[in-house]
């Protein structure tokens, strides 16, 4: 590949043959049988004229006229010329001579342009039929509608212009300059005519820069908008027919402002752009310039975009130079005037999106600023102005501005004279060949500082762009993306390689248990066979109604034994049992070798016989008697209650109890994704990353397209420094759910960790577009929604896979649990936030009988993608990512130091036990919104955890006095109730705990009620509450302890001793409670069986 440029230079010039085969439906000035000839031109060079032919009426004209030009290193025509310049074919009619006419007259009938782009795609020959567009005043303008003047053209080369490696490694760049809107008011369509020019530079073949010039923009007045779909124009002059100026099948297609990549794609810019593009003046070009990029030009473009990021696109207004002759002094004065650039502006186009994986198109609106050398150098590293260099070349500038693009001045006839053409000769041909819309950078001389300082004083005219709000709309398109994007199928395959699918294994009884079960089944089978034999011999008898003579039964037994022995069934039954008995010997008694001692063998056989006889009787009883056991009762707790209990245990830092609840959920149903995700997020909290990874992988096995499972797999991979695997998971999440702003945001945070700034911007940009486009209700679902999709309070709410709305925090305090972490996110009538709680509402409210309340905190409608990501990451305990998301939130235009931001920062500091920093954030949040209940709740948690329980009580009471509830009320009630108990205000403690029981009953809430009632000497109520607490969690030692006190007070010795036994067995930690129990036992004289 490294020899590709040398290969291009050493290859001999390749001739390109243009053959015009036929012409259809020609009509001349003097009739339907005109005498015509063809003129073929390419790159402002005349290729040749065909012989004169007379066209038969209503028949085709057989030209069969071939011209050619060379493409190669020594040829004046380059591959880039083939990319953006067509072959111009002009049909010219020779008019009949009139009397006394010496020279023949000609008239141009029509013109067409043949696109040579297929040659750059590896084609050696192609054939097209192109329409013949009439020039102004041509008789072809009045042809019958059914007649379609056209030319059949064949293009061929002896060998492909590019080799396969060059085609695969090269690229084709298209730059479409559409229009500049809201131009300065001093520009008027009437009066003197000006040439409106824009330009930019790009890397070209041979490590040289090509300067793209878009001249002859058309100034239009306001009043109507441009057509939605309009055809693009060729970037060259000399096309006489207006229809031939347009590139076939190439249209400008507008998109929604929010989907653009420019600077003015925000919602606040929409009204201004609609007003500007409808009622304001504009300059339109609608011109597309193609550029062929070889391998090295493509690499150079990619490198320079990464280095410079911004690309300068210059714009100016220039005077049209007169085409006539002038005196020398006047010419010098005119040259000086041409060298002065008026209205010199620049737009900084961010081409970084072209480095995003899979991106081939960039379109947007960019503000035009006054051109300042220092600013351009700082932003783009460009040392000189392209337009200023062109202005210094006075002669070139005069040619450039001589006539508008594709239009001849009114005083020039579009009828070329053949005699004049012949007289011009080769010299003019060479001069016109050098005249091109694209000028190599070598032609632009360096600008000397003195001239620069003289040309650029105070750019007052350029400042009018800023005052008017002028912006430029352009489009940049690539044939192939600079950075290929991995396909969704590839990402799915990589995920399957990381987590291979495995079938669900059925439950199997193995070892000794299976051997005994097989023995039982064989005994049952033999029993049924013997009963059938008995019925055949003696018939069925109702033994329950009559007494059977024992002598008769003995005779029947002897006869049955005789029949079984005679028929051989007895030996068959023994053989049937033999295999199951052997399995019991091997699996139950682990006996696989022969006995060396006979006595030992006899002892083993005796033991085996007794065991087999016992098991035989067990099997017979199951077969002959219907004594089936009742089904076990349904569990008293459901999955949502277990989740609530687990979250409460996390809050109190009882991680062993929390793990037990999570494992209980998995034991009940291992096929639910949220059970695995919740358990995995708990393992993230306690730092067991390997177990968390296993849980997330199990969830992903259940559903390969579950977005949250993919994100969590990627998060834990980052924590474990498996960045390659993490990238696979994150990218697959964006492939599965391309409309998820959350997935794109987390992908951007990952790229930031990797130091890949370009891809980070790509991900954040995509997330921002999705965030703006999403409806408000979809972007801000109820904060009680859960990650994995469970039923709501009243109805099931389901979302399609991969199209999952992200969560939004209410008042910003959702996420980490208090105690070991800041508080969990719950609403007054929903279950606690699970690790999988971002998508649909929890159904826990149905178990509490609480109707939805109208006192919800309003949603932060201005929440940014970073705050939404931080909320989700806090919910799943991915604290490593939370700080990064919050840092972006602080700098985001949609974010900033809001109340929600300060609350989230306070939660992170509480997790780290950084109470001073948390207090500072809470103080800032209070200044922003002092009526936010989450501010007071979190402040109470901070002071409770730091030991200032009196101050915490005041904060909790203030939070409860507000109209709206805090996002997470359970911990507020628990901690406020415990403060009341410690301060001896038992009635307030009772009421507080009862409110907690009404919202979300748990063991601790009922325990608080029971303790408060006991202290109030309400023994019956205390016993009921403590019994309820014991039902919800029979391993709570404190509940057994207070039940012991109640039983001692009520004089129930047996129950007191049983409760005390469990209290001691569970190792109660409250020594004050144990002292109180012992003192009461001594007073009543019972309760401790040990004395």
Query: Does residue 867 contact residue 803 with C-beta atoms inside 8 Å?
Result: no
What does the pLDDT read at residue 221? 86
Residue with structure tokens 């939404």? 868
Using an 8 Å Cβ cutoff, are 805 and 863 in contact? no
- For residues 293 and 900, what is the distance between their CA atoms, to the nearest angstrom? 49
Query: Each residue of 966-986: pLDDT tens digit?
Result: 888 999 999 999 999 999 999
Q: pTM, whole model, 2 decimals?
A: 0.71
Q: What's residue 859's pLDDT?
A: 38
pLDDT band at 289 (very low <50, low <70, confident <90, very high): very high
Task: Examine the pLDDT at 400 and tell me if it is beyond 60.
Answer: no
DSSP SS3 for 129: strand
pLDDT tens per residue, range 835-883: 444 333 333 333 333 333 333 333 344 578 999 999 999 999 888 889 8
Strand partners for 131: 150
Give Cβ neighbours of residue 557 (< 8 Å, ≥ 6 apart).
Answer: none
Average pLDDT over residues 814-818: 38
- Tell how far CA 475 is from the center of its chain: 24
Would you say 684 and 692 are in contact if contact means Cβ atoms under 8 Å apart? yes
Query: Residue 230, class by beta-carbon neighbours within 10 Å (0-12 exposed, 13-18 middle, 19+ buried)?
Result: middle
Q: In sequence order, which ranges of 314-409 are alpha helices (DSSP H)? A: 328-339, 373-380, 386-392, 394-400
Residue with tokens 């507080």: 992
Q: What percent of the chain has pLDDT over 90?
A: 33
CA torsion sign for 967, 971, 975, 981 is: positive
The answer to whether residues 683 and 691 touch, using CB atoms and an 8 Å cutoff, is yes
The confidence band for 788, taking pLDDT boundaries of 50, 70 and 90, is very low
| CB neighbour list of residue 690: distance below 8 Å, 6 or more residues apart | 720
pLDDT at 773 over 90: no
Q: What is the DSSP string of 214-241?
A: EEEEEEE-SSSPPPSEEEEE-S-S---S
Comparing 47-61, 108-122, 503-517, which segment has the lowest mean pLDDT?
A: 503-517
Give me 128's structure tokens: 């097209």
Residue 64 pLDDT more than 60? yes
Asked if 415 and 107 touch (Cβ cutoff 8 Å), the reply is: yes
The answer to whether residue 396 scores a pLDDT higher than 60 is no
If you ran DSSP here, which 8-state letter would residue 799 be given?
-
Across 146-163, average pLDDT: 90
Cβ-based neighbours of 645, under 8 Å, separated by 6 or more = 637, 657, 661, 1002, 1003, 1032, 1033
Residue 66's closest CA among 159, 157, 160, 161?
157
How much of the chain, in percent, has pLDDT values that exceed 70?
A: 79
Q: How confident is the model at residue 790 (pLDDT cuts 50, 70, 90)?
A: very low
In this predicted structure, the answer to whether residue 891 has a pLDDT above a threshold of 60 is yes
For 165, the token pair is 């490696």
pLDDT above 70 (res 350): yes
Is the pLDDT reported for residue 179 higher than 90? yes
Q: Is the predicted pLDDT of residue 516 greater than 50, yes or no?
A: yes
What element of type H or E holds 545?
Answer: none
The closest alpha carbon to 234, from 173, 177, 287, 291, belongs to 287
Distance, in Å, from the CA atom of 652 to the CA atom of 889, rounded to the nearest integer, reads: 31
Provide CB contacts within 8 A for 323, sequence distance 6+.
402, 403, 409
Q: How is the beta sheet containing 61-71 ordered, strand by strand?
A: 61-71, 14-24, 150-156, 125-131
Q: Of 102-111, 671-680, 898-907, where does the model show the most confidence? A: 671-680
User: In Å, how far from its chain's centre is CA 618?
Assistant: 62
pLDDT of residue 743: 94
- 1025 has a pLDDT exceeding 90: yes
Q: What is the DSSP string of 546-597?
A: SPPPHHHHHHHHHHHHHHHHHHTHHHHHHHHHHHHHHHHHHHTS---S--S-
Compute and round to an integer the Cα radius of gyration of the chain: 44
Residue whose structure tokens are 């051109």: 371
Give residue 729's region: left, alpha or beta (phi > 0; psi -120 to 50): alpha
- Around Cβ 947, how many Cβ atoms within 10 Å? 10
Q: What is the mean pLDDT of the chain?
A: 79
> Does the pLDDT value for residue 639 go beyond 50?
yes
Rounded average pLDDT over 676-697:
93
The better pLDDT of the pair 890, 979 is held by 979
Could you list the beta-strand ranges (E) of 371-484: 438-440, 471-478
Task: Give the end-to-end CA distance of the chain in Å, rounded to a whole number.
Answer: 95
CA 357 to CA 759: how far, in whole Å?
A: 8
Helices 986-999, 970-983: axis angle to 10 degrees equals: 160
Give the E-state strand segments of 301-356 in sequence order: 310-319, 342-350
Lowest mean pLDDT segment, chosen from 253-257, 327-331, 745-749, 782-786: 782-786
Closest by CA to 1080, choosing from 1051, 1054, 1040, is 1051
Give the model confidence (pLDDT) of 6-19 as tens digits.
454 556 788 999 99
Does an H or E element contain 122, and which?
Answer: none
Band of pLDDT at residue 1087, cut at 50, 70 and 90: confident
- Ranked by mean pLDDT, which of 58-72, 311-325, 449-463, 553-567 comes out on top? 58-72
Please give the pLDDT value at position 719: 93
Query: How many alpha carbons fall within 13 Å on the CB side of residue 906?
Result: 32
pLDDT on residue 826: 34
Res. 796 pLDDT band, cuts 50 70 90: very low
How many other CB atoms are there within 10 angstroms of residue 523's CB atom?
23
């Amino acid at each position: 590949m490294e020899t590709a440029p040398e290969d291009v230079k050493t290859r001999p010039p390749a001739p390109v043959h243009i053959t015009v085969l036929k012409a259809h439906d020609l009509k001349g000035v003097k009739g339907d049988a005109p005498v015509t000839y063809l003129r073929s031109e390419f790159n402002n060079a005349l290729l040749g004229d065909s012989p004169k032919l007379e066209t038969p009426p209503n028949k085709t004209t057989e030209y069969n006229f071939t011209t050619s030009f060379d493409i190669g290193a020594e040829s004046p025509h380059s591959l880039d010329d083939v990319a953006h310049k067509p072959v111009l074919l002009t049909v010219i009619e020779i008019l009949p001579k009139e009397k006394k006419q010496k020279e023949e007259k000609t008239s141009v009938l029509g013109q067409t342009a043949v696109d040579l782009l297929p040659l750059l795609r590896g084609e050696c020959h192609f054939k097209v039929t192109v329409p013949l567009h009439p020039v102004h005043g041509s008789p072809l303008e009045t042809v019958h509608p059914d007649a379609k003047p056209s030319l059949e053209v064949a293009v061929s080369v002896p060998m492909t212009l590019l080799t396969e490696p060059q085609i695969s490694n090269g690229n084709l760049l298209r730059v479409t300059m559409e229009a500049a809107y809201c131009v300065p008011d001093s520009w008027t369509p009437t009066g003197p005519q000006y040439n409106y020019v824009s330009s930019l530079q790009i890397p070209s073949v041979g490590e040289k820069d090509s300067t793209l010039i878009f001249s002859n923009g058309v100034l239009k007045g306001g009043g109507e908008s441009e057509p939605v779909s309009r055809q693009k124009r060729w970037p060259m002059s000399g096309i006489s027919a207006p229809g031939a100026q347009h590139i076939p099948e190439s249209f400008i297609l507008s998109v929604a402002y929010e989907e653009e990549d420019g600077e003015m794609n925000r919602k606040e810019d929409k009204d201004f752009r609609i007003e500007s593009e409808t009622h304001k003046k504009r300059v339109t070009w609608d011109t597309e310039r193609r550029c062929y990029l070889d391998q090295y030009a493509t690499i150079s473009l990619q490198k320079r975009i990464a280095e410079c990021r911004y690309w300068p696109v210059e714009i100016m207004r220039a005077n049209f130079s007169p085409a006539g002759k002038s005196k020398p002094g006047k010419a010098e004065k005119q040259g000086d005037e041409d060298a002065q650039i008026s209205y010199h502006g620049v737009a900084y186009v961010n081409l970084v999106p072209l480095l995003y994986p899979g991106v081939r198109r960039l379109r947007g609106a960019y503000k035009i600023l006054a051109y300042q050398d220092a600013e351009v150098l700082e932003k783009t590293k460009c040392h000189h102005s392209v337009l200023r260099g062109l202005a210094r070349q006075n002669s070139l500038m005069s040619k450039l501005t001589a006539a508008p693009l594709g239009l001849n001045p009114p005083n020039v006839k579009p009828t070329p004279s053949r005699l004049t053409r012949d007289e011009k000769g080769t010299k003019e041909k060479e001069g016109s060949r050098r005249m091109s819309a694209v000028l190599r950078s070598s032609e632009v001389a360096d600008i000397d500082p003195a001239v620069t300082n003289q040309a650029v004083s105070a750019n007052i005219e350029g400042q009018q762009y800023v005052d008017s709000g002028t912006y430029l709309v352009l489009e940049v398109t690539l044939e192939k993306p600079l950075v290929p994007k991995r396909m969704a199928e590839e990402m799915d395959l990589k995920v399957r390689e990381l987590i291979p699918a495995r079938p669900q294994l059925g439950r199997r009884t193995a070892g000794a248990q299976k051997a005994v079960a097989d023995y039982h089944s064989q005994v049952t089978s033999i029993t049924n066979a013997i009963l059938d034999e008995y019925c055949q011999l003696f018939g069925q008898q109702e033994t329950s109604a009559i007494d059977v003579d024992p002598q008769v039964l003995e005779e029947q037994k002897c006869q049955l034994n005789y029949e079984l022995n005679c028929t051989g069934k007895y030996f068959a039954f023994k053989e049937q049992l033999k295999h199951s008995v052997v399995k019991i010997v091997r699996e139950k008694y682990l006996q696989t070798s022969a006995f060396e001692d006979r006595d030992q063998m006899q002892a083993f056989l005796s033991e085996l016989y007794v065991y087999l006889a016992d098991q035989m009787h067990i099997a017979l009883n199951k077969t002959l008697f219907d004594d089936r056991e009742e089904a076990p009762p349904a569990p008293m707790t459901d999955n949502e209650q277990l989740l609530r209990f687990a979250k409460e245990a996390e809050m109190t830092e009882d991680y062993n109890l929390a793990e037990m609840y999570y494992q209980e959920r998995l034991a009940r149903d291992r096929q639910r994704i949220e059970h695995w995700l919740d358990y995995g997020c708990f393992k993230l909290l306690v730092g067991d990353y390997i177990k968390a990874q296993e849980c997330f992988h199990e969830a992903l096995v259940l559903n390969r397209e579950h977005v949250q499972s993919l994100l969590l797999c990627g998060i834990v991979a980052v924590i474990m420094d498996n960045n390659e695997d993490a990238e696979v998971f994150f990218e697959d999440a964006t492939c599965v759910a391309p409309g998820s702003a959350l997935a794109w945001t987390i992908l951007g945070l990952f790229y930031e960790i990797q130091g890949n700034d370009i891809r980070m911007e790509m991900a954040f940009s995509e997330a921002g577009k999705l965030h703006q486009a999403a409806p408000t209700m979809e972007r801000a679902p109820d904060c009680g929604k859960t990650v994995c999709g469970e039923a709501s309070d009243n109805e099931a709410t389901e979302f399609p896979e991969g199209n999952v709305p992200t969560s939004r925090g209410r008042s910003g305090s959702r996420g980490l649990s208090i105690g070991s972490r800041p508080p969990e996110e719950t609403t007054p009538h929903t279950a606690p936030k699970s690790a999988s709680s971002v998508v649909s509402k929890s159904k826990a409210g149905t178990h509490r009988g609480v109707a939805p309340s109208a006192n919800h905190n309003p949603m932060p409608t201005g929440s940014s993608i970073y705050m939404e990501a931080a909320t989700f990451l806090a919910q799943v305990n991915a604290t490593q990512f939370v700080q990064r998301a919050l840092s972006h939130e602080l700098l985001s235009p949609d974010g900033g130091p809001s109340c929600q931001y300060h609350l989230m920062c306070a939660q992170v500091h509480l997790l780290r036990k950084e109470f001073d920093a948390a207090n500072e954030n809470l103080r800032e949040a209070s200044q922003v919104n002092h009526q936010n209940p989450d501010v007071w709740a979190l402040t109470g948690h901070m002071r409770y955890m730091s030991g200032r329980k009196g101050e915490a009580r005041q904060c909790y009471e203030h939070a409860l006095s507000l109209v709206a509830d805090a996002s997470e009320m359970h911990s507020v009630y628990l901690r406020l109730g415990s403060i009341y108990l410690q301060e001896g205000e038992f009635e307030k403690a009772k009421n507080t705990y009862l409110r907690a029981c009404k919202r979300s009953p748990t063991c601790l809430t009922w325990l608080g009620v029971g303790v408060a009632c006991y202290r109030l000497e309400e023994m019956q109520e205390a016993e009921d509450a403590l019994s309820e607490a014991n039902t919800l969690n029979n391993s709570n030692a404190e509940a057994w302890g207070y039940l012991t006190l109640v039983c001692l007070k009520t004089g129930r010795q047996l129950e007191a001793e049983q409760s005390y036994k469990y209290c001691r067995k569970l190792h109660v930690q409250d020594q004050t409670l144990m002292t109180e129990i012992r003192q009461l036992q001594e007073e009543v004289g019972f309760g401790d069986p040990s004395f």
